[in-house]
Structure 1
């Protein structure tokens, strides 16, 4: 069906006048009349009754005008839907985040974003760095938030670094090393409580040991989350190598104690990762802008 001709017919039926429809569409009256006659011929059905004055629709014309009205109303709704997506007013954001940003950064940013974008649906998945990048590559996530070493950056992602935070060795306040400075070999003799393999921080600890020719520490307790590992160290057992962002408050309130290690000063890179060579949708760009505008207090 010729949609342009259907639109001309609909405006004639709605206004009750070829002249008014032509003015509304900014085309000549003869052009409207000619195209509608061709439209009737293509349909094989009359749309208008012969009439000396005005416009008189046939029964078929009346029903077609109703259907056309529904069609063009739905077309307008689709246009609005597209515009809402284009300008970031509606849609869905799928976020994959490693444990550090997922627990300490993304919730606050998401709350600020939702306050301004109530119709944007947000789905946040907490995972390790390897799986976060895999979800991004497989288009299962629109963006990945990463906290770890810059050397882990995949080649096929765009990397926007937000800030760095220090990596600390922490123990219980009752531990003999609490508040002290020790050597790296001494620290590596302690039992460690860490997250599962695939965690970027655990990989950084192993890499540190390799760099200094040391045997990696024994991981005597392993958890899939940061909170469980932190609470176990608080309870008085072992040590942890962890982002200062995750434990700063506990150290300040003396529920954990920092151990300084001679010659070692490492930091986490907190970054937003998107797929290379792809444009960033408006809603995602607005979320990224919020993340950049509200850095945490370190």
Structure 2
């Protein structure tokens, strides 16, 4: 308990609840972050207001807005909580990271093909740390980070929000794939303009791979509407299977298509003067109240030796 003068006292659970509600402007979102029910968070805030004999929030347009008293407490409470987090994180460090929990969000390429391997290896080193992995399109992952629903994100496109810290993680390479009997296989290479005459299979809107393809085609003054479009699919695995079935051609990550290429189920065709390289990114909220578990995982996935073991291409 923390003494605030007289007989009143405030505990850190109340401060933590207050900070999350203040930053997310929502009892519901704060409850999700704290793994508590919304009534439990409301009770913490009410108890804090009663202890301090002030009103901390007023309800705005669908948001909880700080009062003047709330603004004053927020500045002080954040500093106090940072000190508390340092102490707690230091204790975790002394315990050898035997406990901890973090939520990771990822686009389908890092989420389906890279992170499960890394998480498995990380768990061997820190078996007591629980990791939840949520997989969706890169746009959704960015929203999760912005709304503080996850601790760390991995995407296939650069996050542009000022609230998000974005750094290159791994290099990825895209690949134009076609069915084994496709006429392009014998050509060895095609021109970008040739894509206008072939049915293309695309990922869904919001996918990092799709957004990257759109940007790279735009560099050659080509928009998707100029290309005959087949079906849109929600995962790279589904796209590759559709190409194997002869439903069209596509451009996918080499991380995703590696096995199908080795087995000869699809063939790769080069496009002249087309840049197939891109980055995968790590993203996190700039005001994320991180702990040692998150820092340990971030350090782990950035180690050069990890990239070598799994044949990942580190960013320069």
Q: Does 1:160 align with 2:167?
A: yes
The 2-side partners of 1:276 and 1:250 are apart by 39
The 2-side partners of 1:130 and 1:225 are apart by 14
Residue 186 (structure 1) aligns with: 194
Q: Does 1:230 align with 2:244?
A: no
Cα drift, residue 155 of structure 1: 3.3
Residue 273 (structure 2) aligns with: 263
Q: Deviations over 1:148-193 (max 9, x none)?
A: 4x4x443332223222121111111111112621111112321111
Aligned pairs, number: 220
Residue 112 of structure 1 contacts residue 290 of structure 1 at CA under 8 Å; is this kept in 2? no
The 1-side partners of 2:277 and 2:290 are apart by 28
Residue 178 (structure 2) aligns with: 171
Residue 151 of structure 2 contacts residue 288 of structure 2 at CA under 8 Å; is this kept in 1? no
The 2-side partners of 1:98 and 1:85 are apart by 30
The 2-side partners of 1:280 and 1:192 are apart by 42
Residue 187 of structure 1 contacts residue 261 of structure 1 at CA under 8 Å; is this kept in 2? no
Residue 116 (structure 1) aligns with: 125
TM-score w.r.t. length of structure 2? 0.63
The 2-side partners of 1:280 and 1:245 are apart by 30
Residue 17 (structure 2) aligns with: none
1:270 counterpart SS class? strand
Which of 231, 247, 260 is 1:221 aligned to?
231
Q: Deviations over 1:102-149 (max 9, x none)?
A: 01110011111112222222111101111101101111000001124x
Cα drift, residue 85 of structure 1: 7.9
Cα drift, residue 252 of structure 1: 2.7
Closer, same or farther: CA 81–206 of 1 in aligned 2, 3 Å: closer
Which of 254, 258, 264 is 1:254 aligned to?
264
Residue 91 of structure 1 contacts residue 283 of structure 1 at CA under 8 Å; is this kept in 2? yes
Closer, same or farther: CA 204–270 of 1 in aligned 2, 3 Å: closer
Pairing 1:1-298 to 2, within 5 Å after superposition: 83-84=91-92, 88-148=97-157, 150=158, 152-178=159-185, 180-216=188-224, 217-278=227-288, 280-293=290-303, 294-295=306-307, 296-297=310-311
Residue 171 of structure 2 contacts residue 279 of structure 2 at CA under 8 Å; is this kept in 1? yes
Residue 6 (structure 1) aligns with: none
Q: Deviations over 1:54-75 (max 9, x none)?
A: xxxxxxxxxxxxxxxxxxxxxx
The 2-side partners of 1:80 and 1:263 are apart by 53
Answer with 215-224 or 85-94: which moved more. Answer: 85-94
Residue 162 of structure 1 contacts residue 271 of structure 1 at CA under 8 Å; is this kept in 2? yes
Cα drift, residue 283 of structure 1: 0.5
TM-score w.r.t. length of structure 1? 0.67
Q: Deviations over 1:83-112 (max 9, x none)?
A: 338864322111110000001110011111
